[in-house]
Amino acid sequence: MFSKRSIRKNFLIQLIFSSASLILIFSSILYFYIEKSIYDEKKEELIHYAHNISNYKSVFEVEDSISENFLSLSVEIIYLKKGNPEVEVYEKTQHKQTFLTLIYPFDPKNSSYLKITKNITPTKKLLNKILNYIFIINIAGFLLVIIYAVALSKMLVAPVTTLSKRLSNMNEHLMKPIKTQELPQEFEPLGETINHLIARIQNFVKYQKELFIGTAHELKTPLAVIKLKNQVTLIKKRSPEEYIEALKTTNKTIDEMNVIVSNILNIGRQEGAQLDKPQEVDVIEILKQKANDFKLLAENEGKTLHMHFEPNGFMATLQVSLLNQIIQNFLQNALKFTPKDKSVTLRSSQDDFGLLIEVIDEGCGIDESVDLFAPFKRQGNKSGVGLGLFLAKSAADALGAKISIRNRTDGVDGTVASLQLNSKLSCIIPRNS
């Protein structure tokens, strides 16, 4: 039922042990309190009798049960050496009878003392019965604690068991989000995390299928071109110049295939980079380095790269290669689609979620109805395989970041590519400007 590492087992043992200890301590305190109260009452009763005798009064009060008290009471005068305590009470058991004896000063000048003995056997039996009842109640309470602990532990692990059953019945084709509103409040973060993971798996499966289909399609087309060109060339004899032209066309097509294969290899490299050990780095410094690298490239193409970074520093624990890949893709696409004499802006700002990184261009914009993060999706008339944004999306998912691309809404044509880093594993560092 339980494994060595079972949380439920540890919970049961701790709950049962603590509850049993509490019951035992409480019962012991209760019994000793009852016993002390009864003995104090008996002691006060004997002192009351001794006080009446010393003052030559009636031993019993009018309301006392004289017959019962008289039969269980023994009074005598004894002589002791000086230095004995003024009042002494002790208990003695003899012939299965229990007696409580009081030594009380009667005539201190003559060292005479009253020795009052009372048979408290019924009281002792009553205390034994109380002890037995407490013991029985403890056993019953201990059994109830075990039942309660088992039921409580089962109730606590029920949501985890439910989640496990749902997840065990899932596969890549039948994945449904978990309804977090049906979970206890304490398990809602776990449910949300699982839903996030399910969404990532669904996207991964979806894009992987599209990647395989797209790869086959992208490679099939140039192969068909090469085959057709070779067939046409072999139909009849041709001049050396015509053969050379055919070979050039074939080499050009092979180069296009090599670009596709290289991009597919980049996907494998990126998946390996996701397993790299995260490092604590200043994201703002990385952005500045990337901006400086692309600033020269933008100037060579007759374009301008603007930079604006806030805050001055933002430490984050992440895989630097994945962040570099995303920013590099954003800047490459922005410069590719931005006409000459136009500008591209790289900026960062802080919000409630974390650090928002944006690359804003002045290009032709995008069709927002198209999933540009799917593999082999191309926008505009520019050359490219269509895997850049797919790689960027995969890297962002690995970083636990949000990525998006949308059209500008400030009246200027162009797009805004954004990456939002979560601040949970990050912190702002102050810097002197």
DSSP classification of residue 316? E
pLDDT number for residue 433: 42
Is there a contact between 263 and 387 (Cβ–Cβ < 8 Å)?
yes
Q: How much is the pTM?
A: 0.50
pLDDT number for residue 428: 46
The pairing of beta strand 304-309 with beta strand 415-422: unpaired
The tokens describing 357, both together, are 């990184």
pLDDT number for residue 358: 92
DSSP classification of residue 350? E
The tokens describing 191, both together, are 């449910």
Is there a contact between 253 and 226 (Cβ–Cβ < 8 Å)?
yes
Beta-bridge partner residues of 364: none
pLDDT number for residue 418: 92
Radius of gyration of the chain (CA): 45
DSSP classification of residue 101? E
Nearest to 196 by CA among 207, 214, 213, 180: 180
Distance CA 175, CA 202 (A): 7
pLDDT number for residue 429: 47
Distance CA 208, CA 95 (A): 93
Distance CA 266, CA 277 (A): 19
pLDDT number for residue 432: 46
As a residue count, the chain comes to: 433
Beta-bridge partner residues of 77: 114
pLDDT number for residue 385: 56
**In the chain, which residues have pLDDT < 70?**
1-5, 56-71, 82-86, 169-175, 207-211, 213-215, 217-218, 263, 265-276, 375-386, 423-433
Q: What are phi and psi of 295, to 5 degrees?
A: -65, -40
> Which 3 state secondary structure label does DSSP give 404?
strand
**Domains of the chain listed by start with CATH number:** 7-144 (no CATH), 201-273 (1.10.287), 279-428 (3.30.565.10)
pLDDT number for residue 345: 92
Nearest to 346 by CA among 329, 337, 358, 338: 358
